[in-house]
Structure 1
Amino acid sequence: MAGNLGRTSLKCKRRSSDPMRDYDRLPRELRIWLSGAVLPWRPRSVRRAFDAALSRTGGVGPALAELDRIERRIVSKDARKIWGQDHPNVSNVNRV
């Protein structure tokens, strides 16, 4: 795969909106979380996941913790496909 994503099995999508404007509209706590995220989340995707987590958990902190779990699961899934079953991040797949 070309570009700065490196080797990954994750799907890539073309943008039809302005990602910086979408990023600027995110809540402050979510922008801070996103700045330290491992994956290259799209602002719309992370907002949708955050809103769903917020409605399930009822609080910003627990919702961000759920985003951490979602991200770990996605990284684990990708690590298995790219580096194999023995990669250290693969063991977290079934914990979410």
Structure 2
Amino acid sequence: MRAYDALPADLRSWLADAVLPWSPASCRRVWDRARRKGLSTEDALCLLSRTECNTLARERHQGFWR
């Protein structure tokens, strides 16, 4: 819970509504990488959403959800 509480508020909010069961550490890695590249908060959150969508699509394609 400490790792979750240490996340920025915008990232905690995104994580609370995420479809996949992201860990705070994996969210933080994507977030930090995006912010180091100069992405805005909104763009970093969009990147997380796209990453989640890509993961879901890959799992569907592999038959995970059948």
- The SS at the match of 1:70 is helix
Q: Which runs of 4+ in 1 moved over 6 A?
A: none
- Partner residue, 1:75: 56
2:44 maps to 1:48: no
- Matched-pair identity in %: 40
Q: Deviation at 1:50?
A: 0.7
Please list, as runs of the form range in 1=range in 2, the aligned pairs for 1:32-47 lying within 5 A after superposition: 32-47=13-28
Contact 1:33 1:64 in 2 (8 A): yes
Q: Which has the larger radius of gyration?
A: 1
Unaligned ranges ≥5, structure 2:
none
In 2, the alpha carbon distance for the partners of 1:83 and 1:25 equals: 32
Unaligned ranges ≥5, structure 1:
1-19, 85-96
Q: Deviation at 1:56?
A: 2.1
Change in Cα spacing, 1:58 to 1:83, as seen in structure 2 (3 Å) is closer
Q: Which has the higher contact order (CA 8 A, sep 6+)?
A: 2
Q: Deviation at 1:83?
A: 5.7
TM-score, reference length from structure 2 = 0.89
Calculate the aligned-residue CA RMSD, in Å: 1.5
